[in-house]
Amino acid sequence: MAFSCTPRGFSCLSKISVLFIRPETRRYTRSLHRNPLNILTSEEARKSSRKPSLVYHDSISDAANKQVQQTTHKNIRVEHTSLKITKYEQVDDSTVSTKNPRSALSSHLSSNPKKTAITSTTKKVPKSGRMTVYSNGEELEVDIVAEKLVAERTLSSLIQNVKSTKARQASGKILLEGERLISDAMCAGVHAEAIFFSNIKLLTTLPLKSHTSTKLYQVNQAKIQLWSDLITSPGIMGVFDVSNLQNSSFNEDIPLTIICDNVRDPGNMGTLIRCAAAAGCKMLVTTPDCVDVWDSKVLRAASGAHFRTKLSLNVDWDLIAGNFVTQDDTVLLADSCVQEISTTSHLVDGKNTLGSQLSWLEREHSAKAKSVEILVNGNALLRDSSYLDEKNLRIYKNLPLPHCAYDKLNLDAASITLVIGGETHGLSSAAHKLAHDHGGLKVFIPLANEVNSLNAGVAMGILVYEVRRLFLQKKKTTSETQKT
């Protein structure tokens, strides 16, 4: 028996499968599935059409007509008087052809006046140009580059100069992520080369008024997440130039210099910088063996303290002795290995007998090791090559030093230099030589319950605030004495 399928005016063949249907035709095809198909006999199919239509022939009952079906399969053109188009504008039946179902359906969709009206009224947002944003509660007109290709290429090219330690040292640029870090850097006067953001609302907390030369790029959130070190990126990052970083907005409360020696944990380094800024220290110095202070983990641990204290980074030991520590300074070594509480209080005036003798011997034998280097800008640097002699440095590490608990210090010095070592490698031999040269001593924190050591950041917090308390107390006593 032969039958024909006539869904809304289309006579379809079972051997013809519509493989490619555009997304805009899905709604039309779904409506066909909602209405069941009428299965007609060959006689009923001929009566329902003005022209004889091609019908399906059963291979068993009409095997003789199989050749006719194959010849007419190439050109199929069926017209129906019962074709009614309700959703779309009615077209002439002669234009409907089942030879190419994709073109037949697209002809109906193209004649939809509603879709044409929607497309014509859609407004395109400008990709780049001058826009008005709110910055710290004020309206400000800024130039924003929102072209996807340009913004993403700029982000990719600048990221290459800040992702590794070697690249940061060569270019002098760092990457800051998050509104707080970027705002702190801009408020401190650090030049922002470019800022990339996903939402314009992220610019409201930034002091853009004082950074008019900063270029702004709007980038997709997924692209920012690709370069982010965080699990979920805040959606804003900036590239800053710290080659000529000037920390002029911090207050020096106490004459205390912190030297970080072999501190290689990013979390500890960030905590040390944060503590130094909070206590109002004079300066924080790092040696070449320390972790990069501009590492993303250090930046997050410091929470913007990089821009609130004076930093001297990657300073060799032969420069530290003559340029960052004066002869009047007292050097304190934070050492967790000493647990014996001293019975007498050591005066922290920098001049115990053993330290003075070793310092005299060092000056006599290493006078030739000291030199003066004149820089291009006219500044002079003092170098002491004896701090680079590993053979002699081992001797100083084994020499004994006076020691006392942190709460038994008697402060009688104009300024103090505190050396903090890493938890794994501890203090270097050069740090011990520095303490011997300046008549210093070891300071420890008593521990209980068989605890071997404290976290470097925790230990520094205890020592620094004890020294701060002593300095402020001394200052108060001096002021009261002067009044009387």
Contact in structure between 258 and 276 (CB atoms under 8 Å):
yes
Q: State pTM to two decimals.
A: 0.68
Token pair, residue 389, equals 């002699």
Report the 10 Å Cβ neighbour count for 105: 19
pLDDT at 374: 73
Residue 189 half-sphere exposure toward CB, CA atoms < 13 A: 9
One domain for residues 236 and 293: no
Domain for residue 287, yes or no? yes
Listed residue (216, 201, 437) closest to 333, CA to CA: 437
Instruction: Give residue 181's domain range.
Output: 128-241
Provide the angle, in degrees to the nearest 10, between the axes of the packed helices 266-279 and 456-483: 10
> Is residue 307 pLDDT above 80, yes or no?
yes
pLDDT at 420: 94
- Return the residue matching tokens 């039958």: 3
pLDDT at 359: 55
One domain for residues 411 and 459: yes
Cα(184)–Cα(238) distance, rounded to whole angstroms?
12
Q: What letter does residue 22 receive in the DSSP assignment?
A: -
pLDDT tens digits along 333-347 = 998 765 444 434 444
Confidence of residue 397 (pLDDT cuts 50, 70, 90): confident
Token pair, residue 344, equals 């007498």
Confidence of residue 484 (pLDDT cuts 50, 70, 90): confident
pLDDT at 179: 92
> Is residue 31 pLDDT above 70, yes or no?
no
One domain for residues 183 and 230: yes
One domain for residues 290 and 179: no
Listed residue (100, 51, 111) closest to 79, CA to CA: 51
Query: What DSSP letter does each residue of 368-426 carry, written as one string?
Result: GGEEEEE-TTS-EEEEEGGGG-HHHHHHHHHS---EEEGGG-EE--S-EEEEEEBTTTB
pLDDT tens digits along 101-150 = 555 445 554 555 444 444 434 444 445 577 877 777 778 888 899 888 99
> Is residue 267 pLDDT above 90, yes or no?
yes
Confidence of residue 95 (pLDDT cuts 50, 70, 90): very low
Q: Where are the alpha helices (DSSP H) in 212-326?
A: 221-227, 266-279, 296-302, 317-323
Question: Could you say which of 74, 94, 121 is where a domain stops?
Answer: 121
One domain for residues 273 and 325: yes
One domain for residues 35 and 68: yes
Domain of 271: which CATH number?
Answer: 3.40.1280.10
pLDDT at 414: 85
One domain for residues 381 and 324: yes
Q: What letter does residue 209 receive in the DSSP assignment?
A: G
Contact in structure between 412 and 404 (CB atoms under 8 Å):
no
Domain of 139: which CATH number?
Answer: 3.30.1330.30
Find the range with the poorest average confidence among 115-129, 135-149, 302-316, 429-443. Answer: 115-129
Question: Could you say which of 241, 269, 293 is where a domain stops?
Answer: 241
Please state the domain count of the chain: 3
Cα(82)–Cα(70) distance, rounded to whole angstroms?
27
Question: Could you say which of 191, 218, 241 is where a domain stops?
Answer: 241
Q: Where are the alpha helices (DSSP H) in 56-133?
A: 66-72, 101-110, 113-121
One domain for residues 107 and 15: yes
The residue-averaged pLDDT of 56-71 equals 49
Cα(237)–Cα(297) distance, rounded to whole angstroms?
15
Find the range with the poorest average confidence among 118-127, 154-163, 170-179, 188-197. Answer: 118-127
Token pair, residue 33, equals 């599935």
One domain for residues 91 and 136: no
